[in-house]
Amino acid sequence: MTSPLEARSLSLVREGNTVLDGVSFSVASGEIFALLGGNGAGKSSTLLAFLGFLEASGGEVLVNGSSVSSDIAAVRSAIAYLPEAASLYGHMTAYENLDYFLDLAGKSASRGETDAALDRVALPDEARSRRLQSYSKGMRQKTAIALALLRETPILLLDEPTSGLDPVAIDEFHDLVKALAEGGQTILMVTHDVYGACQVADRVGLLRGGKLVGSFTAENGERIDTETVHAAFSERQVA
C-alpha cells in the first residue's frame, strides 16, 4: 500500500555541506510521525524537500506515491504546511488573513467554518477581528494552525508547531493533532521537544547530523517512553 509520505535514501547537499545523508522513512495515513533532532540536524530541510523547495541531491521524496519533482502543483495541493514562524499580515485581522490565504490556495470558507476552525485552536472570540500586530506569538501561531485546518488537506507538515504556546495550549494542540490523525490525516512534525514528540507521536525518528539514527514506536496504546528517547537524544553531543 502506498504511503502518503516517503523518503527513500534522501540526501541533501547545500553549499557544499551535507544536510541529509541517506534518510529513509514513510508515514502512513492516520499516523503521526515526529522527526526529533537538535539545531542543524536537518529537520526543517526534510519538510522543505517534501514541499519541493529543496531538490534532493540523492534518493527521492514521494507524496502519495509520486515523486515530488514530477508534479509539484499536485504535491503542494495535498499538503498544508505550518512553519515555525508563520508569515501572517500584522495589519490584517485573523478573519482577513484566513480569507486572504485561503483565496491564494483556491479555497474559501464561510464565517461559520472559519469560526469553527478558530474555536478548535481556542483563539478568543474578541481577538478575531483585531489586527494581528496586537497578537502574541502564541495567538499568531493559533491563527496559522486554523489556516492549516481550513485547507482540509490529507497531509499536514508541522515545523516546531508548539513554539510560542503556553503549556495548556500545547496540550490542546496535541489533542487536536491526535484528532486529525484519527480522522485519517497524515502528519509529519519536526521538533526538538522530546516530551512533546513522545506525547503526541505514534513513532519518533531521531535525526542527528543529517542521519536517521534511531526509531521509537508507541506500543499497545501507550506513549513512547520519554526517558528512553531523551537518553538517545542527549547522546548527540558524544563524538
207's enclosing H/E stretch is strand 203-208
What's the distance, Cα to Cα, between the start and end of the chain in Å? Answer: 39
User: Given this structure, which CATH class describes domain 5-78+154-237?
Assistant: alpha beta
pLDDT tens for residues 106-156? 899 999 999 999 998 889 999 999 999 999 888 888 898 899 889 989 999
Question: CA 55 to CA 121: how far, in whole Å?
Answer: 33
Q: pTM of whole model > 0.85?
A: yes
Number of H helices, E strands in the chain: 8, 10
If 0-12 CB within 10 Å is exposed, 13-18 middle and 19+ buried, where does residue 90 land?
A: exposed
pLDDT value of residue 172: 84
* Domain residue spans of the chain: 5-78+154-237, 90-152
pLDDT tens for residues 64-98? 998 998 888 889 889 999 888 778 999 999 999 99
Nearest CA-CA partner of 11 in 52, 61, 47, 51: 61
